[in-house]
């Protein structure tokens, strides 16, 4: 009989009795891992830090089983873990003291990557700053920090004073902190395991001197794992206003975003609302590019088309062209919010001018170019301020 490692169609694999047996053997282990992860979420990451050189299945340095469990046998940290004092992380006290001057803390999350979460975080920070609030933007996407680029701060360095790390400032009332400022080369990859990433997040919260600010916006990576557990664990004692969750309209994104909402409910973080980003393409007809196709290939017909419109129907130049990019036939984010009992904040269309503003590191509210996206973003910000 062929074993499970051999190639076969999905139908064959389902019918193959040995494959079903393998699946049954894996199911209890998967369920145990899932239950363990859920318990850790509910306890705000209750396992504590796991050392980089720890054995597999390490219970964590803050566990009562630390240094005593079967998995600890032969670990170089066994004696230290067994004798070290257990209890609350003393750094949490320092974090509470440091963030006592921060009035509101907003998490920007998404279970799915590539939905425009960092773009939304950057523009939300710009909007709050332009409303004369004192704003801090903390980028905890350790492996993919894009916030420095989106705020026009590439190449800037972090400075340290006797009060701690100083944020890099876009304006006098908008400061930014990101690991992107610490990389000697922007092309360097951050290849870190969970404990080291968690340690940097703790250091950001403990050592960055934000001063007296109204809003701290935290831009998190996609998913519901290490960075999310850490930021919630460390911030819960300081008071989190809630999470803003970003998605795109199609089901392939909403599947993961539902998990993010469930994560927030399990760890006790209020969901302030969901933003449907890239909700259809909108741009002025005059910004479109036109192409003619024939047997010889494609030729640019933009100049000809615009001149024809100006001559025959000039009123069309003020019309907005709209099209659906993602499939929203299943109801999109609005329907999901209704089903899961969370607020829906609104839709932000896909706007090439917004993408350009993000690439150039500037606010989309500073001029009239982002005519499709800026009003939608402003309405969402107003709802958030009203919610608070």
Strand partners, 102: 213
Strand partners, 216: 105, 136
Helix ranges (H only) for 213-285 are 226-235, 251-267
Asked if 178 and 157 count as a contact pair (C-beta separation under 8 A), the reply is no
Angle, CA of 361, 132 and 234, to the nearest 5°: 75
**Distant-in-sequence, close-in-space partners of 205: CB < 8 Å, separation ≥ 6:** 95, 98, 99, 138, 231, 234, 235
Asked if 77 and 84 count as a contact pair (C-beta separation under 8 A), the reply is no
- 115 among annotated binding-site residues: yes
- Could you tell me whether strands 291-294 and 344-350 are parallel, antiparallel, or unpaired per DSSP bridges? unpaired
Instruction: Report residue 137: phi and psi, to 5°.
Output: -120, 115
Q: CA-CA distance, 141 to 110, in Å (whole number)?
A: 12
Instruction: Report residue 152: phi and psi, to 5°.
Output: 70, 35
- 152 among annotated binding-site residues: no
User: CB pairs under 8 A, 24+ apart, for 85-89?
Assistant: 86/62, 87/62, 89/48, 89/62
Q: CA-CA distance, 77 to 55, in Å (whole number)?
A: 9
- 266 among annotated binding-site residues: no
> Residue 47: how many CB atoms within 10 A of its CB?
18
- 268 among annotated binding-site residues: no
- 111 among annotated binding-site residues: yes
- 81 among annotated binding-site residues: yes
- 113 among annotated binding-site residues: yes
- 33 among annotated binding-site residues: no
Tokens of 386: 């009203």
Asked if 360 and 126 count as a contact pair (C-beta separation under 8 A), the reply is no
Binding-site annotation: residue ranges: 58, 72, 75, 81, 111-118
Binding-site annotation: residue ranges for ATP: 111-118
Binding-site annotation: residue ranges for [4Fe-4S] cluster: 58, 72, 75, 81
């Amino acid at each position: 009989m062929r074993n499970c490692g051999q190639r076969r169609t999905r139908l064959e694999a389902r019918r193959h009795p040995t494959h079903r047996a393998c699946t049954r053997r894996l199911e209890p282990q998967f369920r145990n891992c899932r239950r363990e992860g859920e318990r850790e979420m509910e306890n705000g990451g209750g396992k504590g830090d796991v050392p980089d050189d720890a054995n597999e299945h390490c219970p964590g340095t803050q566990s009562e089983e630390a240094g005593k469990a079967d998995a600890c046998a032969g670990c170089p940290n066994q004696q230290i873990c067994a004798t070290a004092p257990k209890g609350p992380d003393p750094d949490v006290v320092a974090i509470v003291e440091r963030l006592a001057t921060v009035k509101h803390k907003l998490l920007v999350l998404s279970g799915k990557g590539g939905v425009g979460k960092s773009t939304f975080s950057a523009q939300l920070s710009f909007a709050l700053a332009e409303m004369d609030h004192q704003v801090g933007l903390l980028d905890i996407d350790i492996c993919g920090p894009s916030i420095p680029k989106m705020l026009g701060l590439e190449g800037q360095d972090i400075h340290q004073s006797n009060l701690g790390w100083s944020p890099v400032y876009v304006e006098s009332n908008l400061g930014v902190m990101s690991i992107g400022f610490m990389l000697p080369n922007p092309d360097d990859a951050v290849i870190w395991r969970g404990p080291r990433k968690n340690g940097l997040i703790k250091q950001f919260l403990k050592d960055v001197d934000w001063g007296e600010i109204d809003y701290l916006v935290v831009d998190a990576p996609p998913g519901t794992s290490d960075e999310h557990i850490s930021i919630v664990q460390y911030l819960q004692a300081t008071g989190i206003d809630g999470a803003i969750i970003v998605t795109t309209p199609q089901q392939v994104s909403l599947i993961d975003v539902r998990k993010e909402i469930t994560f927030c409910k399990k760890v006790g973080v209020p969901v302030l609302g969901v933003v449907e980003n890239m909700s259809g393409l909108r741009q002025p007809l005059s910004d479109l590019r036109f192409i003619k196709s024939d047997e010889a290939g494609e030729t640019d017909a933009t100049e000809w088309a615009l001149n024809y419109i100006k001559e025959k129907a000039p009123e069309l130049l003020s019309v907005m062209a709209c099209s659906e990019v993602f499939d929203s036939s299943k109801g999109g984010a609005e329907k999901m919010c209704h089903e899961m009992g969370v607020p829906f904040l609104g839709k932000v269309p896909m706007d090439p001018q917004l993408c350009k503003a993000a690439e150039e590191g500037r606010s989309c509210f500073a001029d009239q170019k982002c005519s499709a996206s800026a009003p939608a973003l402003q309405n969402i910000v107003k709802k958030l301020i009203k919610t608070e």
